[in-house]
Amino acid sequence: MAHLLLVDDDQINSKIFCKRLTKRGHTVDVVFNGGDCLQYIQREDLPKDLIIILDIVMPGHDGLEVLQRIREKFPPMELPVIMLSGEEGTEKIVECLNEGANDYLTKPANIDIALARIKTQSELMDFYQGHMKKKQLETINSMVATFNHEINNPLTIALGSLRRDFKKIDERRVTIAVEALVRIADIVKKIERVTKEGEVETDTYVQDTKMIKLK
């Protein structure tokens, strides 16, 4: 079940709607204006499965303005927003959808329709989060392959040149070892830059394994 934030200035209707959603197993928080909604999403412990049900017409910050502020911080798949509209016309609803709303409900909200639309958004969010976790694991695997391939060879050369009787190490072997260590240092800097930039290109290393391209 999803964690819901209901944002509606109509306190009586919102409490009734909240009670119905809670009976169906959802955890529901309620705020009665857009400002409190914007403050809520600043929480460090924001629920990962949060879905916002947001009234369009409210005093102060109306629903469209709040939606725009939410979308400045969260994309639709990370924080779904279902608009709640008491208007019969579709113009405002279309405007909200264009601004990044995931879905809408008309007031008074039918509980079965609301549950179906909440379920849809919850499943889409689960799919998105699963996809992102998979991408993160792929990136980590690519990093490991890159370290193994790019660093292992010069490290082996450096260690091989230095693991000798020190009395017999000549200038040529020292030069080889230093060049290999410089190469390792350069690779580490490139990997650090890739991790900071957050954008990577990959190439096939071995079957079913990718390796990050270091530029």
- 10 vs 57: CA distance, rounded Å: 10
Q: Which of 19, 8, 21 is nearest to 122 (CA)?
A: 21
> Is the pLDDT confidence value at 208 over 60?
no
> How much is the pTM?
0.64
Query: Domains in the chain, ordered, with CATH?
Result: 3-109 (3.40.50.2300), 133-212 (no CATH)
Q: Which of 175, 173, 156 is nearest to 164 (CA)?
A: 173
Burial degree of 60 (CB within 10 A; 0-12, 13-18, 19+): exposed
**26 in Cβ contact with 53 (< 8 Å):** no
Write out pLDDT tens, residues 98-153: 999 999 998 888 999 999 999 999 999 888 777 666 666 666 666 666 666 677 67
- Cβ neighbours around 158 below 10 Å, total: 19
Provide the pLDDT for residue 46. Answer: 93
